[in-house]
Amino acid sequence: MTSMDLVGKLLQVLVGLVAFGAVVALLLAFLDRPEDKPRAASWRSGLRPRIILVAAFALLALLARLLYGLVPWMTQALTNAAIAVGVAGIAIVVLQWLLDRLLQPASPAVRSAVLRGVGAAIVVAIVLVAQSAERIPALDWVTPALVLAAAIVGWPLVGALVATAAIAFLPDRIRRSARLLAWLLAAVAVVVVALVLEAGQEQPVGVWPWAAAAALSIIGLLGYLADRDDDSKPMLVFLLPSALLLTIGLVYPAIRTTLLAFTDKTGAFNGLDNFIWMFTQPEALVTLANTVVWVILVPLLSTAIGLAYAVFIDKSRGERVYKMLVFMPMAISMVGASIIWRFMYAYRGPEQEQIGLVNQILVWFGGEPQQILQNSPWNTLALIVVMIWIQTGFAMVVLSAAIKGVPTEQLEAAEIDGANPWQRFANVTVPGIRTSLVVVVTTISIATLKVFDIVRTMTAGNFNTSVVANEMYTQAFRSGEPGRGAALALILFIMVMPIVIYNIRVLNQQKAIR
């Protein structure tokens, strides 16, 4: 990896986080409108954050200058860009502070109008400078795409700012609607300007106008919503991003997948063909059968072993360490666990020395080394062992906590009545931890139904080891059969749904009791 790549990646993360932070800050700004708050009289108010900002910008420019020539990735263009951003940032912060001080005595309408006017002037300056960037050597980092973007976004933004500045003097009643109208008009203007540019065949404009239009309309809508006097309305702003993401990213795709399940690979409706394929073709049937085996064995065995272990180590010395050892697999990735176990199962011919512990044990007991991951049907069991290894710790930790909640009096009473340890366990402890047992079994069942990583990493679903979640991925993204993949996802959803609902209900009951 070159250091250039690394810096590019860091820049990506930085840009992403800053952009996200800006969006959230904007949302929060809408929440408490500055007009509502009494303005602090002293000139010191708000000085500290501004000093910090100025220092940050200065540091950025300074660092860029210092690193230039020292490290290979600090190219001249990057240095110039950083210095330009730093200087411009400082100028804007200082300007804003000065304006804020000067406008202290003015009415809110005048203040907002002046601020918007100055903002518009700054945008105009940026656009003009960008357009003449070719002639200024210090601006060699401004790419043509950036110039175009600045022009397309800049002019409508100026229009919107000027318009809203004028609107500040309108009577209250129509001000809100007028403001919204101005923002939406600006958004439309962006698209129109872009289309005109594109029609003129000067340059392809790409997606900038659409992104800018969307941003402008969202800003306008948010402002419109937040401006209501009603106390609760701004809170919709709080919900908006999550609601938007969930609708676009979960609700719509889930519906779409359901429809997709009834189409073939060209996207044409084919009725139940995908499901008929699933329940008749041998390779698909193996997948379903494997999933059933998984979902029976894993919850049962991990819960049983976890419960036994929890009972055995209860109140013993070093309980914490014991717990940690078994719980640790839960922290690592299933990919990591799969590699750990592939190493355990590693195979060498009978004439060679074994390097996998499992085969070595076979040899020690006089057996033949086996290709554990390739011999069907035992290979499925070998994969199941990995999942049990991971999930037992989870069962153990939950059940151990539950066991400690069983009242000692009941155990003592049972003992006085002559119950042996096994009877005490079966008749007092187990009924006492019933809800926890249900939660553990259902939770592990859900995780097992969705198991993907283990199968993918250990066998990639070959040798008759595939399960529904893995087959879904293979069909949809490897074999180019999105319809079949969607049908498998739908089956998965139908299998998981009742268990999840039941699990959540039990969890809620448990919480209600406590």
Partner 1 sequence: MSSVAFTPDPEVTPDEVAPAVRTRADRVKRRLTSPWATIAALVIAVVWTIPTFGLLLSSFRPADQIQTTGWWTFFSDPQLTLANYSEVLFSSSASSPQLGEYFVNSLAIAIPGTLIPLVLACLAAYAFAWVKFKGSSTLFVIVFALQIVPLQMALIPLLQLFVTFLQPFQTALHEAVPFISERQYLPVWIAHAIFGLPLAIFLLHNFISAIPADVIEAARVDGAGHGQIFFRIILPLAMPAIASFAIFQFLWVWNDLLVALVFSTGTPDTAPLTQRLAELAGSRGENWERLTAGAFVSLIIPLIVFFSLQRYFVRGLLAGSAKG
Please report, as residue ranges, which positions from 74 to 93 form the binding site for partner 1 (by CB under 8 A). 78
- How many residues touch partner 1 under the rule CB under 8 A: the total is 142
Q: How far is the CB of 251 from partner 1 (least distance, A)?
A: 7
Q: How far is the CB of 50 from partner 1 (least distance, A)?
A: 19
Question: Residue 31 or 174: which CB sits closer to partner 1?
Answer: 31
Question: Residue 180 or 397: which CB sits closer to partner 1?
Answer: 397
Quickly tell me which residue has 């540019």 as its tokens: 197
Question: Of 86, 154, 156, 234, which lies in the binding site for partner 1, with binding defined by CB under 8 A?
Answer: 234
Question: Residue 101 or 228: which CB sits closer to partner 1?
Answer: 228
The packing angle between helices 482-513 and 273-280, to 10°, is 80
Question: Residue 140 or 181: which CB sits closer to partner 1?
Answer: 140
Question: Residue 313 or 383: which CB sits closer to partner 1?
Answer: 313
List Cα–Cα distances, 126 to 90, 119, 142, 155, 429, in angstroms.
Answer: 15, 11, 12, 11, 73
323 is an interface residue for partner 1 by CB under 8 A: yes
Give the binding range for partner 1 (CB under 8 A) out of 46-54, 153-161, 269-277, 479-487: 479-487
Question: Residue 90 or 437: which CB sits closer to partner 1?
Answer: 437
Give the binding range for partner 1 (CB under 8 A) out of 173-181, 194-202, 290-298, 498-506: 498-506
422 is an interface residue for partner 1 by CB under 8 A: no
Give the binding range for partner 1 (CB under 8 A) out of 43-51, 54-62, 171-179, 396-404: 396-404
Question: Residue 113 or 390: which CB sits closer to partner 1?
Answer: 390
Q: How far is the CB of 127 from partner 1 (least distance, A)?
A: 15
Angle made by CA atoms 118, 58, 101, in degrees to the nearest 5 = 35
Long-range contacts of 280-285 (CB under 8 A, 24+ apart): 283/466, 284/471
507 is an interface residue for partner 1 by CB under 8 A: yes
Question: Of 167, 193, 313, 387, which lies in the binding site for partner 1, with binding defined by CB under 8 A?
Answer: 313
Angle made by CA atoms 246, 249, 254, in degrees to the nearest 5 = 100
Site for partner 1 in 440-459 (CB under 8 A): 443, 446-447, 450, 452-453, 456-458
Give the binding range for partner 1 (CB under 8 A) out of 89-97, 120-128, 285-293, 410-418: 410-418
Instruction: Read off the tokens for 503.
Output: 């699990």
Site for partner 1 in 8-67 (CB under 8 A): 8-13, 15-17, 20, 24, 27-28, 31-32, 36-37
DSSP 206-275: TTHHHHHHHHHHHHHHHHHHHT-SSSSTHHHHHHHHHHHHHIIIIIHHHHHHHHHTTB-TTS-B-TTHHH
Indicate the Cα dihedral angle 370, 374, 375, 377, nearest 10°: 140
The packing angle between helices 172-199 and 208-226, to 10°, is 180
412 is an interface residue for partner 1 by CB under 8 A: yes
Site for partner 1 in 104-163 (CB under 8 A): 143, 145-146, 149
Question: Residue 93 or 373: which CB sits closer to partner 1?
Answer: 373
Q: How far is the CB of 443 from partner 1 (least distance, A)?
A: 5
Rounded distance between C-alpha atoms, residue 153 and residue 80, angstroms: 23
List Cα–Cα distances, 425 to 219, 249, 311, in angstroms.
Answer: 63, 47, 9
Residue 88: strand, helix, or coil:
helix
Indicate the Cα dihedral angle 495, 496, 501, 503, nearest 10°: 120
Rounded distance between C-alpha atoms, residue 395 and residue 442, angstroms: 11
Q: Are 356 and 347 within 8 A, CB to CB?
A: yes
Q: How far is the CB of 452 from partner 1 (least distance, A)?
A: 5
Question: Residue 61 or 390: which CB sits closer to partner 1?
Answer: 390
Question: Residue 190 or 488: which CB sits closer to partner 1?
Answer: 488
222 is an interface residue for partner 1 by CB under 8 A: no
Rounded distance between C-alpha atoms, residue 14 and residue 20, angstroms: 10
Q: Are 276 and 365 within 8 A, CB to CB?
A: no
Identify any residues that bridge with 68 across adjacent strands, giving them in sequence order: 71
Half-sphere exposure in the Cβ direction for 115 (13 Å, CA): 18
Site for partner 1 in 188-207 (CB under 8 A): 206-207
Q: How far is the CB of 170 from partner 1 (least distance, A)?
A: 26
